[in-house]
């Protein structure tokens, strides 16, 4: 972890060497995030609710997913662009170093301008919680904590799974975008608004429902089932095959040649 933190510190210093570019990047990300937010606001100008979900309930769901995705993009960028390490032959060099491979991959790249999205997501999250007037108790505090952690975990798992896919085919951008950006766009709305086929996929194949549906039912008072409080922990099970697939890919890796 010391290697990762030192690498992050050096990367941050390098970004500040070009302050205008860094600030411009931050502002552009703020505008991009605002367009996502504006779409939801515009939608609720026409409708009072979406299948029983009010504006701030949807915004809460939106903020949770954006928080997890933005954190992962910011601090796990090395995994997100893992194919570049293979294409440039840099992964071969990482294998020669006596350090944890996954930690080295994480330390290889960051995207600190996305930190603006994290801040925006937190602001929208806080505003939504206030507007919804949720009466917090120990169970709901645990629920929101697990929701935020599981949001990061599920995107980290997907990024890692897509990195593993690069061992099979180096250029897998379309497939990766389908599960990352595509999944994010779908999951930023409550899963229950979709048809049963989507609900099945995003419950049992990619467990977004255990991030932004079942625990939210309890948090929003739509269910009193306390099992939902711990339902985000299921996402951590999804992390296991992602790690195993990455380790399997390393064992089978034979370089991309020259």
pLDDT digits (tens, 9 = 90+) for 103-117: 888 888 888 888 889
Could you give the angle at which helices 234-252 and 138-165 cross, rounded to 10 degrees?
Answer: 20
- pLDDT at residue 166, rounded to an integer: 81
In total, how many domains does the chain have?
Answer: 1
Query: Residue 102: is its pLDDT beyond 60?
Result: yes
Query: Residue 175: is its pLDDT beyond 70?
Result: no
Cα 247–Cα 107–Cα 164 angle in degrees, nearest 5: 25
- pLDDT at residue 52, rounded to an integer: 84
Query: Residue 235: is its pLDDT beyond 90?
Result: yes
Q: Is the dihedral of CA 79, 203, 179, 89 positive or negative?
A: positive
- pLDDT at residue 182, rounded to an integer: 74
- Residues 153, 76 contacting (CB under 8 angstroms): no
- pLDDT at residue 69, rounded to an integer: 92
Q: Is residue 257 part of a domain?
A: no
What is the C-alpha separation between 231 and 101, in angstroms, rounded? 31
- pLDDT at residue 154, rounded to an integer: 93
Q: Is residue 12 part of a domain?
A: yes
Q: Is residue 233 part of a domain?
A: yes
Closest CA to 212 of 73, 69, 72, 35: 69
Domain that holds residue 190: 2-252
10 Å Cβ neighbour count for 109?
A: 17
Closest CA to 91 of 81, 110, 105: 105
Query: Residue 172: is its pLDDT beyond 60?
Result: no
Cα atoms found within 13 Å of the Cα of residue 44, Cβ hemisphere only: 17
CA Rg, the chain, in Å?
19
What is the C-alpha separation between 56 and 28, in angstroms, rounded? 25
- Residues 140, 134 contacting (CB under 8 angstroms): yes
Query: Residue 258: is its pLDDT beyond 70?
Result: no
Q: Environment class of residue 195 by beta-carbon count within 10 Å: exposed (0-12), middle (13-18) or buried (19+)?
A: exposed
Q: Is residue 33 part of a domain?
A: yes
More confident residue, 42 or 256: 42
What is the C-alpha separation between 26 and 228, in angstroms, rounded? 36
- pLDDT at residue 93, rounded to an integer: 85
Per residue in 193-217, pLDDT tens?
Answer: 888 888 888 888 888 999 989 999 9
More confident residue, 183 or 112: 112
- pLDDT at residue 229, rounded to an integer: 93
Q: Is residue 65 part of a domain?
A: yes
Q: Is residue 202 part of a domain?
A: yes
User: 88 — phi, psi (to 5°)?
Assistant: -85, -5
Q: Is the dihedral of CA 53, 59, 62, 68 positive or negative?
A: negative
More confident residue, 218 or 34: 218
> For residue 256, what pLDDT band results from cuts at 50, 70 and 90?
low
Q: Is the dihedral of CA 156, 161, 166, 171 positive or negative?
A: negative
Q: Is residue 102 part of a domain?
A: yes
More confident residue, 74 or 5: 74
Per residue in 120-158, pLDDT tens?
Answer: 999 999 999 999 988 889 999 999 999 999 999 999 999
Q: Is residue 97 part of a domain?
A: yes
Closest CA to 66 of 44, 37, 90, 91: 37
Is the entire prediction scored with pTM above 0.85? Answer: yes
The predicted model gives 64-71 an average pLDDT of: 93
What whole-number percentage of the chain has pLDDT above 90? 32
What whole-number percentage of the chain has pLDDT above 70? 95
What is the C-alpha separation between 142 and 121, in angstroms, rounded? 19
Query: Residue 47: is its pLDDT beyond 90?
Result: no
Q: 53: which strand partners?
A: 50
């Amino acid at each position: 972890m010391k290697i990762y933190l030192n690498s992050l510190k050096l990367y941050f210093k390098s970004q500040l060497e070009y302050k205008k570019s860094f600030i411009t990047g931050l502002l552009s990300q703020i505008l991009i995030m605002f367009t996502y937010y504006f779409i939801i606001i515009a939608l609720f100008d026409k409708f009072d609710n979406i299948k029983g979900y009010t504006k701030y309930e949807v915004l809460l769901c939106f903020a949770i997913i954006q928080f997890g995705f933005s954190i992962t993009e910011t601090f796990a960028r090395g995994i997100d662009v893992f194919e570049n390490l293979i294409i440039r032959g840099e992964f071969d060099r990482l294998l020669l170093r006596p350090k944890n491979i996954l930690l080295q991959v994480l330390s290889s790249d960051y995207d600190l301008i996305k930190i603006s999205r994290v801040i925006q997501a937190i602001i929208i999250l806080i505003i939504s919680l206030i507007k919804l007037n949720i009466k917090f108790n120990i169970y709901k505090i645990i629920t929101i904590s697990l929701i935020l952690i599981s949001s990061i975990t599920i995107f980290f798992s997907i990024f890692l799974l897509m990195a593993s896919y690069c061992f099979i085919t180096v250029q897998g951008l379309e497939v990766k975008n389908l599960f990352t950006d595509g999944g994010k766009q779908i999951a930023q709305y409550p899963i229950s608004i979709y048809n049963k086929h989507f609900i099945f996929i995003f419950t049992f194949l990619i467990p977004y429902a255990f991030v932004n549906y079942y625990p939210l039912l309890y948090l929003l008072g739509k269910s009193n089932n306390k099992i939902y409080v711990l339902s985000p922990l299921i996402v951590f099970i999804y992390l296991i095959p992602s790690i195993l697939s990455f380790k399997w890919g390393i064992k089978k890796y034979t370089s991309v040649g020259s």
